[in-house]
Amino acid sequence: MERHHPNDPHLGAQPVTEHLFIAGPAAWNRIVYLDRLPEPVPHMQFALDEYETVGGTSAGKALGLVGLGRRVTLHLLLGGDSDGARLRGLLEAAGVELLAEDSPATERHLNLMTPAGERVSLYLSTPGDPAEGPGPAVESAMTDAAAIVLDLGERTRRLIPAARATGRPIWTDIHDYDGEADFHRPFIEAADAIFMNADRIGDPQPFMERCIRGGAELVVCTLGERGAIAIDERMTLHEVAAEPVDVVDTNGAGDAFMAGVLDATLGGAELPDALRAGARHAASVLVTRHLHPALDALLA
């Protein structure tokens, strides 16, 4: 497949602007810690802890990149409800520039967690998706960006043609892709850099190599406490170990890893150094129960 940024043919090329554009989910989350995930039978359990916080994969990446000194525009759907107001206020207070579209409801999750990092996410509400295409403000923000991050979502999927037309590098996160689901394929086909985890795909390396043969320049698969592997455009396999840290909460670690790799890559780092930067940045959010340490004081 022919890729689409002729003016910046390498992921490490530095465009004229440091601005980054991210499109995708941000949510208001209630986190409930249990000693074990519930069995599918009627029973009672006592919670070990519970709290509310910012959630959503795109919010995590935006917070991480702002924390690394990047200017970030986050395009998202927000309801006019109290949860949307809290979400907007916290993201803006942390330094994220919002390009929000109105929605009937703000995305909300109930995350059941265990101390081992197991998670079940219950979607309490999802935002309605406007039928119209991207407006001029969204198109302008993408055109001005050094890189575009498109996270999974129906709204975001409809941004792909406009994102490709900008000629800017596209990064995407396909999370626990199983290698078969149709929804992910437009993201995979459009992206220059693809991030994922190995939770549902088994051995990820054959799939990663197929993506490189299909035109991607970089594919990265995170492996939890075992670190991550990456395959570059020369089909070279790279490995990075996870940084040792006393884990408080695993939410957002994958988003922080991708943010660290993106920041280092745009700064001119070679891939091994960029992967190590990603591992360090992931470790920085494992020690907080929020998506990023910047929220600790805001949600104290």
Could you list the beta-strand ranges (E) of the chain: 20-23, 27-33, 49-55, 72-79, 97-103, 108-113, 119-125, 147-151, 170-173, 193-197, 218-222, 228-232, 237-240
**Residues 207, 197: contact at Cβ < 8 Å?**
no
Q: Which domains does the chain have, with CATH numbers?
A: 20-298 (3.40.1190.20)
pLDDT at 217: 98
Apex 2 CA angle, 141 and 232, nearest 5: 85
pLDDT score of 8: 38
Of 184, 52, 191, 190, nearest in space to 108 by CA: 52
pLDDT attached to residue 134: 81
Residue among 277, 300, 298, 242 nearest 64 (CA): 277
Structure-derived torsion over alpha carbons of residues 143, 146, 151, 155, reported in degrees to the nearest 10: -10
Residue type for position 182: D
The pLDDT profile of the chain, 300 residues, written as one tens digit per residue, is: 334 433 333 454 443 347 999 999 999 999 999 999 999 999 999 999 999 999 999 999 999 999 999 999 999 999 999 999 999 999 999 999 999 999 999 999 999 999 988 899 999 999 887 767 788 999 999 999 999 999 999 889 999 999 999 999 999 999 999 999 999 999 999 999 999 999 999 999 999 999 999 999 999 999 999 999 999 999 999 999 999 999 999 889 999 999 999 999 999 999 999 999 999 999 999 999 999 999 999 998
- Taking the complete model, does pTM exceed 0.85, yes or no? yes
Whole-number pLDDT of residue 135: 87
Q: Nearest 5 degrees, angle CA 290-CA 225-CA 179?
A: 95
Contact 150, 190 (CB under 8 A): yes
Tokens of 181: 């689901």
| Cβ atoms 204, 198 nearer than 8 A | yes
pLDDT at 276: 98
For residue 87, give both structure tokens: 């979400």
Rounded CA separation 155/134 (Å): 9
Residue labelled with tokens 């979607």 = 123
| Phi, psi dihedral angles at 276 (to 5 degrees) | -65, -35
- DSSP letter for 251, please: T
Beta-carbon neighbour count of residue 244 at 10 Å?
A: 8
